[in-house]
Amino acid sequence: MNAIADKDFLRHWDELSQFGAVPGTHGVDRQAGTAADGEQRKWFESLLTEHGFRVERDAIGNQYGLLELVPGAPYVLTGSHLDSQPTAGRFDGAYGVLASAHACLRAAAELGESGEAKYNLAVVNWFNEEGSRFKPSMMGSSVFTGKLPLETALNTADRSGVTVYEALGKLHELGDFTMPEVASYAEIHVQQGRSMEADGVTIGLVNATWGAHKLEVRVTGDQAHSGAAEMADRRDALLGAARLITAARDLVDDFAPGDLHTACGEINVYPNSPVVVASEVTLLIDLRSPHTEVLDAAFASLEKTIAEVSERDRLEIEIIGEHRWEQNPYPENGIALAREAAAELGLTHDRVMTVAGHDSTNMKDVAPTVMLFVPSVSGISHNLREYTSDKDMLAGLAHLAGVVTKLAKDGLDRE
């Protein structure tokens, strides 16, 4: 088997980047289960089939390409996700999926005929990592790892009432495949931050996920005429939500620079009519930090603001959903294996934390896992202008191929 070349990767990358391309930009819009997602899946299936993979899909639409080197042996699984946020970059997730397919081919070429392989190889395109159309994010890997019931995922509807089951069914992307035993998992992704670029590091050895406290908040007021109602009579839910959004941002300044990230990305307002004071607003507030004590203090401060706003603006404010996790490490033996692969290739590398969640965050709870980063220019992400150079993409591919080869040859113990 001949190794697949860098130029093949770049050609495939250009092809992949056409799906859901946003005219006049270098970005894409291919949310999970949309037509553009369906088209890229069919393209990816053809690519895999042409290169000798057996293509399968499971009941939540995760798409697999399998290369059997050792009949009956467990698999080294590697992948990421092809779906994107609305009007987003072409690298986020997609780079990892395509690099994984090429890494498998390279590892197979190296190991296939030597008899050195201990495990089989598979690439995966996880369904709906982004969670923009169907919540929650990381849906495919959450179902795979047993964290989210399949039925719940399939019945999840988008804003227009279309369910995951309907969207995937329409694309003929529902299957009944069950992935065989996974010996280990590897994923490569763009950093979505700018520390690696600033530090001149090509390969990020991801050693932990930041802690986070994610809140869904419901603010309840009372509908009123937004002109005629006396100000003192109003119970304006959108006003209360606005106060929480600004308070969440201003919280950041209470801590050392870089210790706390906060955001509200989504808000839903009822009735959202020009002349009506809103009666109900739900919003998502994220607090993220590597430090437990920072998350604790930030959350306590936000709770205090909630109580103040509730009293001052005569609103009912409830936290109706909450998800908290602490800084969460990746296995040290995986980092050591990845460091060795980077050193062999002469690539600069360093330990780096991820603020964003990835499918590997799920996978590391069920299999020995290696998580890798390549740099994002200026840290721009979830943006049409997201960019990673060809040079960095190819370095990452070479590195991932080295990691996958080691995983397939030597394996990785459960820590």
Q: Which residues between 87 and 146 bind its own copies (CB under 8 A)? A: 87-88, 130-132, 135, 137
Phi and psi torsions of 374, nearest 5°: -115, 160
Q: How far is the CB of 214 from its own copies (least distance, A)?
A: 8
Site for its own copies in 356-395 (CB under 8 A): 356-357, 378-384
Interface with its own copies includes 194 (CB under 8 A)?
yes
Least distance (Å) from its own copies to the CB of residue 26?
A: 14
Interaction between residue 292 and its own copies (CB under 8 A) = no
85 binds its own copies (CB under 8 A): yes
Q: 109-130 as b/e, with b when 16 or more CB fall inside 10 Å? A: ebbbeeeebbbbbbbbbbbbbb
14-73 positions binding its own copies, by CB under 8 A: none
Among 263, 345, 366, 377, binds its own copies (CB under 8 A): 263
What is 281-329 written as a DSSP string? EEEEEEEEES-HHHHHHHHHHHHHHHHHHHHHTT-EEEEEEEEEE--EE
Nearest distance, CB of residue 276 and its own copies, angstroms = 5
Q: Which of 200, 227, 256, 346 binds its own copies (CB under 8 A)?
A: 227
14/266 with CB nearer its own copies: 266
Among 41, 106, 213, 243, binds its own copies (CB under 8 A): 243
Residue closer to its own copies, measured from CB, 92 or 110? 92
Instruction: Return all residues near 324 (Cβ < 8 A) that are at least 6 apart.
Output: 211, 212, 213, 214, 295
Residue 350: name the closest of 321, 374, 329, 318 by CA. 374
Q: What is the total count of residues that contact its own copies (CB under 8 A)?
A: 73
How many residues make up the chain in this entry? 415
Shorter beta-carbon distance to its own copies: residue 75 or 91: 91
Strand ranges for 193-293 from DSSP E: 203-209, 211-220, 224-225, 261-263, 267-270, 276-277, 280-289
Cβ 11 to its own copies shortest distance, Å: 28
